Amino acid sequence: MRLQNKVAMITGAANGIGLAAVKRFVDEGAKVIMVDYDKVVGEQMAETLGEQVAFYAVDVSQRQQVNEMVEAAAKHFGKIDILVNNAGITRDATLIKMAEEDFEKVIQVNLNGVFYCTQAVVPYMVEQGFGKIINTSSVSGVYGNFGQTNYAATKAAIVGMTKTWSKELGRKGICVNAVAPGFTATSMVEKMPDKVLKQMEGITSLQRLGKPDDIANAYLFLASHESDYITGHVLHVDGGIMM
Ligand code: NAI
Q: What is the pLDDT of residues 151-196, one digit of tens each?
A: 999 999 999 999 999 999 999 999 999 999 999 999 999 888 999 9
Q: Is the pLDDT of residue 149 over 90?
A: yes
Question: Strand (E) positions, 78-184?
Answer: 82-85, 131-136, 174-181
Nearest CA to ligand 1 atom 7: 12
What pLDDT is attached to residue 117? 99
d(CA 208, CA 187): 16
- Tell me, in angstroms, the distance from the centre of ligand 1 to residue 131's CA: 23
Q: What is the CATH classification number for the domain harbouring 190?
A: 3.40.50.720
Tell me the residue range of the domain where 37 lies: 7-235
Task: Check pocket membership of 149 for ligand 1, CB cut-off 6 A.
Answer: no
- Asked, for residue 152, whether it belongs to a domain, the answer is yes
154 Cβ below 6 A of ligand 1: no
CA of 17 to the centre of ligand 1 (A): 7
25-53 tens-digit pLDDT: 999 999 999 999 999 999 999 999 999 99
Q: What angle do CA 51, 118, 15 make, to 5 degrees?
A: 50
Q: Confirm or reject: Cβ of 40 under 6 Å from ligand 1.
A: no
Q: Whose CA is nearest to atom 39 of ligand 1?
A: 184
Which residues neighbour 29 within 8 Å (Cβ) at sequence distance 6 or greater?
1, 2, 3, 4, 5, 6
Is the CB of 156 within 6 Å of ligand 1?
no
On whether the pTM is more than 0.95, the answer is yes
Residues that are catalytic: 151
Nearest atom in ligand 1 to 113's CA: 18
pLDDT-derived band at 202, boundaries 50, 70, 90: very high
| In-domain check, residue 241 | no
**Which residue's CA is minimally distant from atom 3 of ligand 1?**
16
Containing 64, the helix (H) or strand (E) segment is: helix 63-77
Q: Is 23 exposed, middle or buried (0-12, 13-18, 19+ CB in 10 A)?
A: middle
Distance 13 CA to ligand 1 centre (A): 8
Would you give the DSSP letter of residue 229?
T
Q: What integer pLDDT is reported at residue 227 of this predicted model?
A: 98
Number of domains observed in the structure of the chain: 1
Q: Which atom of ligand 1 is nearest to the CA of 85?
A: 32
* 181 C-beta closer than 6 A to ligand 1: yes
Query: Which stretch of DSSP H or E encloses residue 7?
Result: strand 7-11
For residue 203, what are the contacts with CB-CB under 8 A and spacing of at least 6? 241, 242, 243
Instruction: Give Dmax over CA atoms of the chain in angstroms.
Output: 50
Q: Is 242 part of a structural domain of the chain?
A: no
Residue 2 lies in a domain: no
Does residue 1 belong to any structural domain of this protein?
no
Pocket lining: 216 vs ligand 1, CB cutoff 6 Å: no
Flag whether 189 is in a domain.
yes
Report strand pairing: 131-136 vs 174-181. parallel
In angstroms, the CA 69 to CA 42 distance is 15
Q: Is residue 147 part of a domain?
A: yes
CB of 88 closer than 6 A to ligand 1? yes
Say how many Å lie between the CA of residue 86 and the centre of ligand 1.
6
Report how far residue 211's alpha carbon sits from residue 181's, in angstroms, rounded to the nearest whole number.
Answer: 10
What is the model's pLDDT at position 243?
A: 85
Q: What is the mean predicted confidence (pLDDT) over 213-230?
A: 98
- Reported confidence tier of residue 73, pLDDT bands at 50, 70, 90: very high
Is residue 240 situated within a structural domain? no
Q: From 172, 181, 60, 189, select the one nearest 127 (Cα to Cα).
A: 172
- Integer Cα distance of 65 and 56 in angstroms: 10
Evaluate whether 87 touches 66 at the Cβ level (below 8 Å): no
